[in-house]
Amino acid sequence: MLDIRIQKRLKSFTLDIDLHLPPGLTALFGRSGAGKSMTLSCIAGLSRPDAGRIVVGGRVFFDHRLGINLPPQQRRLGYVLQDYLLFPHLSVAENIAFGLAGRSREEKKAVVQDLLARMELSGLENRRPAELSGGQQQRVALARALATRPQVLLLDEPFSALDGPTRARLRRDLRRLRQEFNLTILLVTHNLSEAYLLADRIAVMEAGQVLQVDPPEAVVHHPHSRQVAELTGARNFFTGVITAHTDTDTRLRVGQMELAAPRLNAAIGARVELAVRPERIMLIRKDVRIGPRENQVVGQIVEELTDGFNYTLFFRLDEGQRLSESSYDLEIVLPAYVYERLGVHRDHRWAATIKREAIQILGLSGIQREAVGR
């Protein structure tokens, strides 16, 4: 559906993209300044790559070698940006009808009425954009882009200027519109939960490169590299050496510890990079006696932070169990209600278990993973 292979020299890095996307919703995810918006701009024809080729739905938009560069007008894509960019001097209806060239007054009116109804904007057709709320403005921008019936919709951070509830609503609208209009969507976002919620697949970008393209679950739980792991919320990065394999586990020496990790197909003695997801480390309850847990460790909380919903604990393991040489070994995230139920504030010393699934093996060049993925 979308074949994008482009290079473009930018100020601080070179955009070098190679993406082949089937229909559906793909999220271009990465921090700001990673080149996501520029990629979209190149696809829309508003920026010109230095080299490469862009083919969308069988139509060649850009081909450096053949000297093809279709103007945006001929690409027939929907393009929606964060700050809506409605024409401030035109009414809602005139905004929506803007792209409807060569249609009769009746046809335009029919299209506009249909979209007003679908976007729940009926009754606002004569308003000016300045008289609308942010959510309404963004729905008008979507309606304006959809009026010309594009097959591909490019969305550049479309929800980030909106407040929480409005954003949630527009995300639901987008899921519905996708079905109704049978759209292929490329969504630029720096918000992981947004990408996870909406996308069929996530393309993780950093410094002009695509690091990984996978279904959301695979990106979060099986990152290919430390960069992807960091971008998807992993903390706790270590280097380990494979010491043994059992039927179900691979055992790794990390610092002073031996950890059980998911089974890997790698030679004993191989060095691997690993991350431990902070929300998959559990503190062990003190009020109930239980047998030893996998990868059980003991240590103390040296610092804690909370945003009201979650607590982040900085956990230093006891000598003999240390994973690193820094002031703490593990960052642990737990929900506020768990923190309260456990009574974490009552004590510094805790035992914890590092769940096997919490251990993500990164950067396995030439090493095959066994039975991972969806």
Partner 1 sequence: MTGFDWFPLWLSLRVAATATLLILLTGVPLAWLLARHHFPGRDLLGSLTSMPLVLPPTVLGYYLLVALGRQSPLGRWLEAAGLPLVFTWRGAVIAASVAAFPLMVETARAGFEGVDPRLEQVARTLGRSNLYIFWRVTLPLAWPGILAGTALTFARALGDFGATLMVAGNIPGRTQTMSIYIYDLIQANRLAEANSVVLLMTVVAVGLLLVGRYTARRALR
29: Cβ contacts below 8 Å, ≥ 6 apart: 36, 189, 190, 192, 195, 199, 202, 203, 204, 205, 219, 231
Q: Smaller CB distance to partner 1: residue 185 or 313?
A: 185
82-99 b/e (C-beta count within 10 Å ≥ 16 → b): bebebeeeebbbbbbbbb
Q: Tell me the closest approach of the beta carbon of residue 158 to partner 1, in angstroms.
A: 13
Q: Smaller CB distance to partner 1: residue 138 or 212?
A: 138
Q: Tell me the closest approach of the beta carbon of residue 157 to partner 1, in angstroms.
A: 13
Binding site for partner 1 (CB under 8 A): 44-46, 71-79, 81, 85, 87-89, 98-99, 101, 144-145, 148
Task: Please calculate the CA angle 96-166-97 and round it to the nearest 5 degrees.
Answer: 0
Q: Smaller CB distance to partner 1: residue 73 or 248?
A: 73
Q: Smaller CB distance to partner 1: residue 186 or 344?
A: 186
Instruction: Give 275's strand partners.
Output: 237, 360
Q: Tell me the closest approach of the beta carbon of residue 113 to partner 1, in angstroms.
A: 19
Q: Tell me the closest approach of the beta carbon of residue 85 to partner 1, in angstroms.
A: 5
Q: Tell me the closest approach of the beta carbon of residue 43 to partner 1, in angstroms.
A: 10
> Which two structure tokens, joined as six digits, stand for 148?
């010309």
Q: Tell me the closest approach of the beta carbon of residue 39 to partner 1, in angstroms.
A: 15
Q: Tell me the closest approach of the beta carbon of residue 29 to partner 1, in angstroms.
A: 23
Q: Smaller CB distance to partner 1: residue 101 or 288?
A: 101
Q: Smaller CB distance to partner 1: residue 46 or 302?
A: 46
Q: Smaller CB distance to partner 1: residue 94 or 249?
A: 94
Rounded CA-CA distance 200/25 in Å is 5
Q: Tell me the closest approach of the beta carbon of residue 79 to partner 1, in angstroms.
A: 4
In 3D, which of 140, 153, 232 has the Cα closest to residue 194?
Answer: 232
| Chain centre distance of CA 147 | 28
Q: Can you give the C-alpha Rg of the chain in angstroms?
A: 25
Amino acid at 241: V
Q: Smaller CB distance to partner 1: residue 46 or 305?
A: 46
Sequence length of the chain is: 374
